[in-house]
Structure 1
């Protein structure tokens, strides 16, 4: 699409793929992400108030029932000397290539066998963002329906429509409030594309956000287990949507 827009509007710069930024507010998702970060031994950079230097730490434990987490001793060691209880810590790291950041409050400094560790508050939110490698085309007006079967013995049927589409994934609006977990895979998904028929694939959930006012759920995901024929259908569908979008830009 960028090449087409460049020809239509000489001298203009193509739109860059946007940052897929998601503020995680659901406590279950926050805990699940922190558990994944702990299992993957994510190294977090730590920013302290009024301090220009960055320090490093790692997650040692997540205690959801008591609403606190445990962090390893800061390195370099002078960071430990700067800490005081009640201080706000800002952490950022990369979980499986995706930027993950959070804010937590230092509750208690502890030392065991000469090694310090920190009890801090369970964060109220996480900022989870990823640079998309493929531009997503708005698909709200395309009438692409979505049906999926949730796995792990739940046998739950999900229904909705495609909100945006790319070569690598899709944004879905589900017609109900439901909590899906980041990293969860919907094993059997079908979208019905006008002019192409049904396309089947598995979808890995990247984020999930519920809207109680509208009683819907917004889901973003990556295609998994998609065959070459289905990929070709998606490419043709994207080409048609790109041409339609270009015509609207010309007529604007």
Structure 2
């Protein structure tokens, strides 16, 4: 089993799901800047392919709500880049509705993408990560993996589950040179969150700034949205050889949300 610094950075390969926008793209670009070879997995759409090509990232088209696509995503990344050392499970989406009105098919799709897919991707990546001797699984959870808010039942259930999956993978991977950790950011200024802010502002008849300050950031000590690059900076360390002794960690980047 390798430990600190026994594998050159430029030899390492990473796969980032949901990697053509928001947090996923920021992580992919940071890892590439760190010297890794990076593939991004996303729904196979022209815009996603253009983003990947524009940034010099290998693109893998897949729908993570479909189990066969999870296996194909790992296989294609390994075939394209010759191995796999780092898996970043980031893909996801949100849906806002009270439990009584929550669409059942949306529930199924959200859990498939945000909980089942990280499990399957980890399962299929496991032999490659073990072979690496310095394998990394990084699950982008959310502060909503530790606390709850109304109208996000499927999202919060999935993110709580991802933390349990992370801890289990850490225990199983420790003897095989695989670490598993979870990042729990508060609200990040991504296109998804910007759309939520705009929708809530229209619904409530108040400004987007008021939504940010009095609704989304009300529990936080720092009243400012995070940027994707803030999450990527933390991800960079967790994935680095220097973090060989960190596993099973749930790392809050939560603006002081859970300090109360």
Q: TM-score normalized by structure 1? A: 0.22
Question: Which structure features the higher share of strand residues?
Answer: 1
Q: TM-score normalized by structure 2? A: 0.22
Q: Name the structure, 1 or 2, with higher relative contact order (CA <8 Å, separation 6+).
A: 2
**Which protein is bigger by CA-based radius of gyration?**
1
